[in-house]
Each structure stands twice: as C-alpha cells, then as structure tokens.
Structure 1
Amino acid sequence: MLVAQLMALLAEKPPATLQTGVTLNFRAPDYSPESGGIHPVEIRIEPCPTNSDWHICYITDFGYFGRPYPELEKDIDFNFTTGQGYQAFVGIHPLRNFSGIYRIWEANFRSYLNNDTFQITITWD
C-alpha cells in the first residue's frame, strides 16, 4: 500500500519538532527530455484536522512538454483535497474519473520505489 511506504520513508527522517505538513519529491536522475525515463513526482501529506492521522493532499506527476525547449509541467495530478484530477491533454475532471489510471500509476510508482529508482527529498514545514 502506497501510504504505508510513504509513512516508512517519513519515519526514517522524522522532523525535529511537530510540523504542519510534508512534501516528498521523487526524482529519477536520468530522466531528461531527450531520453525520457521515469517522471518526477511530488506528494504532499498533511495531518487530518479531525484526528491524529495524516492524509495525502495531492500527488503530481511531472513530464517534459514543449519544443524546442521542453519544460517540466504537470502530466497527471490527483488532488484528494479538492476531489479533482488532471491529465495533460484531457484537463480537469472529478477524481472518480481517474480511478483506473490511478491504480496503474500507483502500481508503477510503488515498483519504482521498491527498486530504489528515485532520489528522494523530504521537506517538513
């Protein structure tokens, strides 16, 4: 389960003091516009306002777009806070419309995590 993997990562690098949230950035060092590769991902986690649990606010998968000077832009976004999803060339729709692509995305992402594909940056705030 993705949440368990993320919590295990956070347990390895806990904050010095109580925090309001954390942003995890996952980067594959060899990803480039010329050769492609595994997209960078950003995940935001915050405490639930009603209990002591934490929840995922959003997951954003970035890809290179544009020519002749490609830039990193949102490719896929799952925003659990607003209940909306986004996919490049498709646009914004209710999150429920993204359940199939989410399952595929999560399975791939978890595989990359298990294979130590990413350089991971954790930013507590």
Structure 2
Amino acid sequence: MTIPFCRDGFALPVTPALLTQLHQTLTNTTLDQERLTQLTFNFRSPTYSPEQGGVHPVEIRLIRGLDGWLFDYVTDFSYQGLGQDAELDKELDFNFLDGEHYLQGWGPLPTAEAQELFNMWQNSFLAYAQLGFFTVTVSGD
C-alpha cells in the first residue's frame, strides 16, 4: 500500500527517503487508508528515559487533501525536568499547514531557519529509523 502524497510542494523540504519510510511503515499495518481522513505515526524508542536520554519520540500526522495526503505536523518530543518530575514535552514542532514552526528554548522560527532545522532533523530521524531504534504505531480516523 502506498501513500499518494499531494506533490504540489511541501511547506518544508521533505525528502523522498522520509516518504519511503512512511510508505513502508504503513505497509506493515492493517489500516485501510481508503476510509481514513488522517494518519498518525508514532515512533518511540523503548529505551528513551529522562535519566539516560536517547532517541526522542516523534509523531507525524498526515491528513487527506483533495489531491493526496498532506503533512499536518511533525513533532519531536523530549523529557523536560529532572527525576520523577520529568515530562515529555514538544522540543521541535513543525506545523506544515499553518506555517508555524517552534524550537523549545527559542520559540517560533522564521521559515528559512525552520527549513534548515527540518533538514537536519529529518536526516537524524531517518538514520535512527533505519537503525531500528523505533517501535512504531500507526492510527487513523
């Protein structure tokens, strides 16, 4: 099963490798994408913890558009705080449809900086995914 993406341009520079990763992940599910209006991919590293750190959890949401699937957001989470008070919080948030991008500690990012940061994030994420760091779940509505 492939995901027909709307190719009229993405708000950020999505690589073919990320599209392939999402295609492959969806192939491993029993979801019937013909009936869905949104897909949410959750990538989690079972060993990530506030004490030891590790590979951050990531959530990617797609929504169905008239001409194919669109990226809604890509969010990278990290633990904030220490010990038992640590909570998962958004560290990076790329909102494709509204053009707002956020980096914890910096706040909103201008488009040029968001594009550069997304490129770097994407390369790291794909390397971790290819090395098998993530347990992945996909849900849809």
TM-score if structure 1 supplies the norm length? 0.91
Deviation at 1:73, TM superposition (A): 0.2
What do residues 44-65 of structure 1 show as CA deviations (whole Å, max 9, x unaligned)? 011123x1x2121100000011
Deviation at 1:27, TM superposition (A): 0.5
What code does the residue aligned with 1:80 have? F
What do residues 7-42 of structure 1 show as CA deviations (whole Å, max 9, x unaligned)? 221122142461111101010000000000000000
* Aligned: 1:107 with 2:134: no
* Aligned: 1:55 with 2:56: no
What code does the residue aligned with 2:94 have? F
User: Mind listing any 5+ residue stretches in structure 1 that lack a counterpart?
Assistant: none
How do 1:1-125 and structure 2 match up within 5 A?
1-16=17-32, 18-49=35-66, 51=67, 53-68=68-83, 69-125=85-141
- Over 3 Å counting, the alpha-carbon distance change for 1:3 and 1:34 in structure 2 is same
Secondary structure of 2:63's match?
A: strand
Secondary structure of 2:109's match?
A: strand
Say which structure, 1 or 2, has more relative contact order (CA 8 Å, 6+ apart). Answer: 2
Count of equivalent residues: 123
4+ aligned runs moved over 3 Å, structure 1: none
User: Mind listing any 5+ residue stretches in structure 2 that lack a counterpart?
Assistant: 1-16
Equivalent-residue separation in structure 1 for 2:48 and 2:117 (angstroms): 21
User: Percent of pairs identical after alignment?
Assistant: 37
**Is the Cα contact below 8 Å between 2:50 and 2:82 reproduced in 1?**
no
Secondary structure of 1:55's match?
A: strand
**Is the Cα contact below 8 Å between 1:80 and 1:95 reproduced in 2?**
no
Equivalent-residue separation in structure 1 for 2:41 and 2:127 (angstroms): 17
Secondary structure of 1:29's match?
A: coil
